[in-house]
Chains A and B, each alone.
Chain A
Amino acid sequence: MGMDRRQFLKTTCATVSGVTLGALGFDLAPIAAYAASLRTLHARQTTTICPYCAVGCGILVHTIDGKVVNTEGDPDHPINEGSLCSKGMAVYQLSHNNPARITTPLYRAPYATQWKEVSWEFALDKLANLIKKARDASFEMKNAAGQVVNRTMGLASLGSAALDNEECYLYQKFLRALGLVYVEHQARI
């Protein structure tokens, strides 16, 4: 994103005061002064799209030192023109600002009564072995009619309309390479 909030304000103020002040007949300096006191003053601004419903509203995310300090509707976005519903407003509480986020892989052993925090290496190594074992044990080269099917019957997947397009594509490619046919997600409900 080429322009941060500060540059944006500078540019627009310069343009506005230079070009339209005379025409409009009022002074924008107090507004500029108020803007200068905003907590987003030194923030980096990125655009995002709301992760909830499929209207696809634009949202601005302001960050300082890698922390989110503000989120708000993107006034330049043609669909929402700066508006957001209550969920869209609450994306502020979706990231670091929410202490309930799961921040490390968790593992629950058979018959265990609680979660254990584990490393990615532990979780992924164990999972990869389980996937291979289940795939190898349940793979069908041919169906009951003797037709070629090359599929894995012992694994199923649900997911996910919450992923980005590129992730959806990768995920289905991964599953199909493993031979899964039981591939479903939210669109079915």
Chain B
Amino acid sequence: MTNHWIDIRNSDYILAMGSNPVKNHPISFKWIMKAIEKGATLISVDPRYTRTSRKAQVYAPLRSGSDIAFLGGMIHYLLENKLYFETYVREYTNASFLIHPDFMLPGDNQGVFSGLKGTETTEGFIDGKYDKATWAYQRDDKGNILKDKTLQDPHCVFQLLKKHFSRYNLEIVSSITGTPPDKLLAVYATYAKSGAPDKSGTVLYAMGWTQHTVGTQNIRAMSIIQLLLGNMGVAGGGVNALRGESNVQGSTDHGLLFHILPGYLKTPKAGQETFAAYNTANTPQSADPLSANWWRNYPKYSASLLREFYGQEVALEEAYRYLPKIDAGVDYSWLTIFDLLYQEKFKGFFAWGQNPACSGANCNKGRQALTKLDWLVNVNLFDNETASFWRGPGMDPKQIKTEVFMLPCAASYEKEGSLSNSGRWMQWRYKAVDPPGKALPDADIVNALFQRIRALYKAKKGVFAEPILKLRWEYGPKDAAGKVTHIDPHRVAKEINGYFLEDKVINGKLYNRGTLVPGFTSLADDGSTSCGNWLYCNSYTQEGNMSARKNKDDPSGIGLYPGWAWSWPMNRRILYNRASVDLDGKPWQPEKPVIEWHLNVWKGDVADGGWPPLASGEKSRYPFITQTEGHGHIFGPGLADGPFPEHYEPLESPMEKNLLSAQFISPVLKRFDRSTTSDVNLRASHDPRYPLVCTTYRVTEHWQTGVMTRWQPWLAELEPGMFVEISSELAAEKGIKTGEIVIVKSARGQLEAVAMVTVRWAPFTIAGKTIHQVGIPYHYGWVTTAERKYAANDKKPQVFTFGDSANIVTPNIGDANTMIPESKVFMVDVVKKA
């Protein structure tokens, strides 16, 4: 979230699209209700009439997978009717920037942007990759970007935007989305009102936007709308992802992904042979003195990270050599891991606090892949489908070689530590009780394993042992042999914050060696500071553990609570807040100011840098400080699939063709269905065997694959099992009644579900044709069912659940930028169980 949960109360127009907060983030709805009580309007756009829709003043349905068409129509509407916030657009976004004259839009180029190299088929291009040379800004000979502040030049971003989205008129949008034109207009007209300078609009999205082959572009489309309406940086505004795991923000911040190290530093690539080459490749340059270009500080953060990893005994260059490197242009993400696993490319596999046998798309393939491992380790609180995969449906344990370790860990309140919520609040939590039996905190399991591995490398020969032998690991008390016996989370939190490794004078103040760094502006690129994650620098200082603070004062009046817990970066509660003021530093919204320039200082939230407002000239900086050029990206030249969003159909679609262009699906997808393992990556698009659009969703009582909810009798009783929700029209057509057991099947697998006939689903009319959509919840698995065999020493649930994972039917195809799977739209059929 650019903003935070409580801030939703400051909003005037709230768009819940790609999310269902009433059901999935129930407590967030407290803040939506507070906004509504003050006069805000809630808009719900969802394929199904959800509980959030029930509470909304405006509701519009759309066919799953047509969000870009829907939002593209809104962009068209805002531009046609001049409802955008002109000063904001001109001064704070890249609308005025000129783009390469050879740049071509999909409308003029067979449905794709200029620069695509790919294979042409009857579905358009496939296996494509963009050469982005024509997506570049025009520059003068000093490297300054050419601009037209009148926004009239035909090559400027604003005019290109207008031209691109002129194709998204009401008629075509309605025929793609299935949304009646009057409902489209109701949403557009209502949300457009947030473009008034003193009004704010927020978008609340979740996996309904990310889990698509065009997921990133769904969010880009909305980001463009938020920039056009001046909704970034203000109270009650922002682009807000309602994240679904208690610490998925923190786990991402700390780099548990193949492409990033902690603090969003890049994983080194082969070819970046020296630390200097690595830093150069990742440190952007800006010729514009008014651009803060925050990532220019990259070498300070990378050097401080290496110091935390390997200490002062190891030269930075040597420490850099120890880091593993990835090949440029090669994908190492989840779907690829499972594809390689299926091809027996791995020996061992850690599923740590995860249940991929249920959470991975096309999980029949995933479960088969696990049988090809030599060994698997699963760390969890309860038995689950991953740990016990070898005795699941269709498995014969006597044929499965995999050695499996199931390690019991501590639950949230059986240990101490912090987590970061969706609003970037780092909150400290305390230990209430010891874990049951021999269960241990995850940190202690990591430690115990690391100590043993290090001991092995000390005792015996091993390949490239230095990174293991020299790793700094000063996180707790040690035994006589010098091994850490127990992890002290405070020590880790301090190392993440960072230390001065030498005495230093900064702005006339002496900081002694061995003291905690007060904030990331004090980090250095010469190895004189350590810091595990620059974004968390300032979270644990000489003043103490900031995330444990519980001061409820709110001098801002807008619910910032600066003394409660801590928010990254630097306790800033609303990101891009320099965009919440005009060029003189006066808030656009004086009733709910985030920051204000007053007597030569910023008042309010921690400003995005202390520089004076833009009107003060060269000492100032543009508001979007993490963008190299300092401006919000209406044109996004860095993405894999286009600088503007363009509607493409999902991998599996009910449509015969894309009504907007000759390009059927995104041309730059990694297509497992066309790979060597295509027999397990099946696709059935516009196929009479699978005529129904299917989507997946969550229920309040269960969480993710259900490992932490299916075993709780209260929750299992409330939501006992797999169902498929279908419209009364479809039910009548198929003769299905509520409560009957039916089969939901896709090209990849099938599962049993209880039919639930509701009026929440209504058939769509798409280009004159009736299209039905159905929905299934995600959370179930065979381990907690009554039908399976329980051995004498197996744990048995007090209340059984029914059914298996929705991922048995989902496709393993990823978004072009993120490789997040398209779990929100695919094709199925629903039939009565024989």
Contact = CB atoms under 8 A, between A and B. Distances in A.
Given A54-B243, A101-B437, A165-B420, A46 B262 contact: no
Contacts of B492: 166-167, 169-170
Contact of B26 (A85, A94, A173): A85
Nearest to B495: A169
Contact of A130 (B332, B374, B398, B495): B374
Contact of B256 (A87, A112, A154, A185): A185
Interface string A109-132: 111111101001001111111111
A164 B24 CA distance: 22
Given A55-B421, A158-B352, A180-B324, A100 B795 contact: yes
A94 B454 CA distance: 34
B703 A87 contact: yes
Interface in B240-279: 242-258, 261-262, 267, 270-271, 273
Interface in A166-186: 166-186
A100 B426 CA distance: 31
A176 B323 contact: yes
Contact of A137 (B347, B448, B559, B793): B347
B507 interface: no
B439 A160 contact: no
A61 B711 contact: no
Contact of A150 (B464, B709, B715): B464
Interface in B429-455: 429-443, 446-450, 452-453, 455
Contacts of B467: 150, 176-179
Interface of A is mostly: mixed
B324 A152 contact: yes
B167 interface: no
Contacts of A90: 709, 712, 714-715
Nearest to B548: A47
A55 B23 CA distance: 13
Contact of A181 (B242, B258, B422): B258
Given A161-B248, A188-B820, A139 B463 contact: yes
B397 A112 contact: yes
A95 B411 contact: yes
A181 B326 contact: yes
A56 B448 contact: no
B24 A53 contact: yes
Nearest to B559: A78
B380 interface: yes
Contact of A183 (B258, B413, B475, B536): B258
B179 interface: no
A182 B699 CA distance: 31
Contacts of A145: 270-271, 327
B532 A102 contact: no
Nearest to B406: A106
Interface in B471-519: 471, 475, 487, 489, 492-493, 495-496
B628 interface: no
Interface in A44-98: 44, 46-59, 61, 63, 66-68, 76, 78-81, 83-91, 93-96, 98
A51 B456 CA distance: 35
Nearest to A106: B406
B405 A100 contact: no
Given A108-B403, A108-B404, A168-B250, A158 B712 contact: no
Size band of the interface chain A makes with B: 35 or more
Nearest to B430: A46
A100 B408 CA distance: 12
A185 B248 CA distance: 9
B360 interface: yes
A164 B418 contact: yes
A85 B27 contact: yes
Contacts of A16: none
B246 A95 contact: no
A115 to B, nearest CB: 7
Contacts of A19: none
B401 A111 contact: yes
Given A103-B437, A160-B251, A54 B244 contact: yes
B28 A95 contact: no
B375 to A, nearest CB: 5
Interface string B201-220: 00000000001000000000
Task: Give the residue among A53, A84, A125, A158 with the most B Cβ atoms within 10 A.
Answer: A53
B446 A174 contact: yes
Contact of B30 (A81, A128, A176, A180): A81
Nearest to B489: A166
A7 interface: no
A32 interface: no
B407 interface: yes
Task: Give the residue among B248, B702, B712 with the most A Cβ atoms within 10 A.
Answer: B712
Contacts of A76: 550, 552
Contacts of A187: 248, 251-252, 256-257
Interface in B291-338: 309, 321-327, 332-334, 337
Given A78-B564, A156-B349, A174-B446, A182 B700 contact: no
Interface string B24-44: 111110100000000000000
Contacts of A59: 413
B178 interface: no
Given A154-B346, A166-B418, A171 B439 contact: no
Nearest to A136: B463
A102 B407 CA distance: 8
Nearest to A126: B405
B462 interface: yes
A47 B430 contact: yes
Contacts of A170: 443, 446-447, 475, 487, 492
A149 interface: yes
A116 B537 CA distance: 44
Contact of B354 (A133, A158, A183): A158
B405 A123 contact: yes
B419 interface: yes
A104 interface: yes
B703 A53 contact: yes
Contacts of B254: 165, 168-169, 172
Nearest to B421: A56
Nearest to B323: A176
Contacts of B321: 148, 150
Contact of A91 (B353, B413, B422, B449): B413
Contact of A86 (B273, B442, B700): B700
A13 interface: no
Contacts of A132: 453, 456-457, 460, 462
B406 A105 contact: yes
Interface string B387-399: 1001100000111
Contacts of A99: 795, 798
B745 to A, nearest CB: 22
A103 to B, nearest CB: 2
Nearest to A173: B309
B819 interface: yes
B247 A164 contact: yes
A35 interface: no
A142 B414 CA distance: 43
A49 B419 contact: yes
A163 interface: yes
A159 B270 contact: no
B356 to A, nearest CB: 6
Given A66-B433, A111-B401, A155-B349, A83 B442 contact: no
A11 interface: no
Contact of A160 (B354, B422, B818): B354
Given A49-B427, A96-B436, 7 more contacts: A80-B30, A88-B27, A93-B714, A106-B406, A134-B375, A135-B462, A184-B334
8 contacts: A53-B245, A68-B413, A81-B30, A86-B714, A124-B452, A145-B327, A150-B322, A165-B254
User: Which 5 residue pairs across A and B have the least CB separation, nearest first?
Assistant: A103-B437, A159-B352, A56-B421, A164-B417, A160-B353
